A = this chain, B = another copy of it.
């Protein structure tokens, strides 16, 4: 893996000029929503100074939007960058980019159904990535998208012992995407979680509720054997979840805008 990059920031390695940039500029409302998504995830304690959210470009499926390397809480419109599916920023202009942008690029590459991705280190899910005794799975209807079994990405299977656990390049991003498979959630052992969704508000919703689900499981498992959602209940409730996302998003948006 690259050793020249420090932390979660890498210098710009390639800049791809695009003469028709204006014609394919992302919808400003999508950019604004991505800024809001960053703030919501911080406000809902899904991310702290670390973690990120991206959304696929609305006009070009081979591009996605992601903030420059910074704390989500501080993201503004000017911080949103456009990337290609190799993880190259198109016009970073010197702004540092997230070292782990490959989490996003490689999932967008193999999952055309995914429109948005959240990567977090939210606290309740971490335990489920480091044990084999219990699987992260849907315990109540609001997190039905979690399904009946959540894959765990074990980085040692890709680069052996001694990594710093970060998804630093395309190879690791592709390995993570492979672990995710066709699902919505993949745990990352000793690191965090990555969730995907067909919409940006949906990814934020899932970032929040995968952590809620984990917290509820931690408590329930302490009581005894748990009666989880069945596969069928999970699918039915997941369909319902999709229509509930808007209400949560609207409220969370009002909250970060100081209107609640």
Contacts and interface: CB of A to CB of B under 8 A. Distances in A.
B251 A127 contact: no
Contact of A126 (B9, B220, B233): B220
A83 to B, nearest CB: 19
B224 A134 contact: yes
Contacts of A239: 164
Number of copies of this chain that the complex holds: 4
A13 interface: no
Interface in A204-244: 212, 215-216, 218-230, 232-233, 235-237, 239-240, 242-244
Counting chain A residues whose Cβ lies within 8 A of the other chain, the interface size class is 35 or more
Nearest to A251: B71
Contacts of A216: 123, 126-127
Contacts of A73: 251, 260
Contact of A141 (B128, B190, B244): B190
A233 B162 contact: yes
Contacts of A131: 220, 223-227
A74 B230 contact: no
A254 B74 CA distance: 9
A14 B6 CA distance: 45
Nearest to A139: B130
A163 interface: yes
Contacts of A260: 73-74
Nearest to A208: B48
A133 interface: yes
B248 A71 contact: yes
Contacts of A221: 222-223
A120 to B, nearest CB: 12
Given A7-B240, A162-B232, A222-B222, 13 more contacts: A7-B246, A49-B247, A73-B260, A126-B219, A127-B220, A127-B222, A127-B223, A131-B224, A131-B226, A141-B165, A141-B191, A164-B236, A221-B222
12 contacts: A8-B244, A49-B251, A50-B247, A71-B248, A73-B251, A74-B254, A74-B260, A123-B219, A134-B223, A161-B230, A162-B235, A190-B229
